[in-house]
Structure 1
């Protein structure tokens, strides 16, 4: 018997909770239809038995957090659906509530028992706050990435990724990456063939990256030097840009610029320039009929070959797949 435990805190995103339950239950249906004898137990848990979702619906949980902690048998998987938090102030307030503190105690207890733990969107903050992600790689919703990086500098954040696995932890990006997370858990507990059936019947496409969805003006950092760097890159997209030229324009050493960019965005200056150009390229790919060679020229590449390779590496698809 494998147990998948879904932790539902008050205010949980209805979509994240529903996506998780629907995907897991679909997997169980396909598992039975295939004649498999595997036993999968799906359990919901809340701080109290009655949970109020973000949309105001009422859910009666199967167990309380205290009951889970007291139980001798620990779940194989724990799932933390997204919480719909949008700012540092909201995150701070949410992490201070009793149900969040008790949820962290539960995660720590189950983590010691080697339960696998997953979290999506802003709920990755709760997992990070528990201290369990220290030194690990993770992702979270891309537009809260700078807040996350400031709070937890010892976690290796890659906000461009849809899913990141590190040991017993699985983290997912923005809200609907919950779908990718649930499918990964189906694959782990029920097998790749069942996960494939789920993806086909539920029409889940492959989305390995959330980088294409990043809106450069929405990145939440306030470093004036980095903002100035962004503006200068945007104004010179059609020509090759070196780190030396950028640091010279900003009247600082390359080392200082690298430190400021790394602190604000988590990437090197070369990657920073590259991503800035790539986001403009993706915008043109999605909104115009320009050829890939023509778009490459507009962002300072000699031809479309390098752009095609970059799109494939970052998004796992071809430029044509973005149209």
Structure 2
């Protein structure tokens, strides 16, 4: 594991604060991205079955293990995620085995429930519902049942387990039911959605939070946060104070990792991959200036707005107010 810049999970394992994300990476590019990231010093890779690129990730990983001097599998913290169609307890370990086979690995460092939303079980990743334009949900399985199956996975295959996109209510339900606290909750987190209640809860329970969409990536065509005047102003001030260029992206990543938090920026451009890995310290003035963006909170990743639609209220967001279904906590 790379020195410094790590957090310790409640399982005792160390996880690098900055990881390399592979969501929405174009086919034919993610293998090179993985290689460049590992060459640049990243030792944390964030993957998922639904991204559809794990076999290509395996190619980049194997290339790096062969080319980067001294790099070994045990130096790299690798995360992947259980997809929604595999929430039935009997499907969970088989889904993990499938991911390990795609990645050509013996184990994962971390395996997450990707969403607290079960889809109809099967091989179709987005099973169509009777209502046109919607995904068929499976309301006959609860997040407690899925989490219990996750906790029973062999440690030889998944060293730590956690969740993603879970709220305080979801976390409370699975912890009360099983007594097992997730190691990680991976969430949409950026300056426009600070979510102090969730962060405080996770801190109390010793759950590490990992931020995705840190730059405010969104499907609505809205400007990225690296272009926000508030972020640019902080970057300019820090550049002058430190006598070197501090890009807006580094400011946001420093905001994300302040405290016991982690982040998984994504890029397939070698220069940006390297830039995102540079360690920048921000002072209280800079941190508070970025926090101001949270006064107009906006969540960008709301599956109720997806195509096909997930007709379920996950976060209690205004965009979900017309959703028919709620997350099934326990049956």
Same fold (TM over 0.5): no
What is the TM-score with the length of structure 1 in the denominator?
0.30
Q: Report 1 or 2 for greater relative contact order, CA contacts < 8 Å, sequence distance ≥ 6.
A: 2
Find the structure with the greater CA-based Rg: 1
> Which structure: greater helix fraction?
1
What is the TM-score with the length of structure 2 in the denominator?
0.30
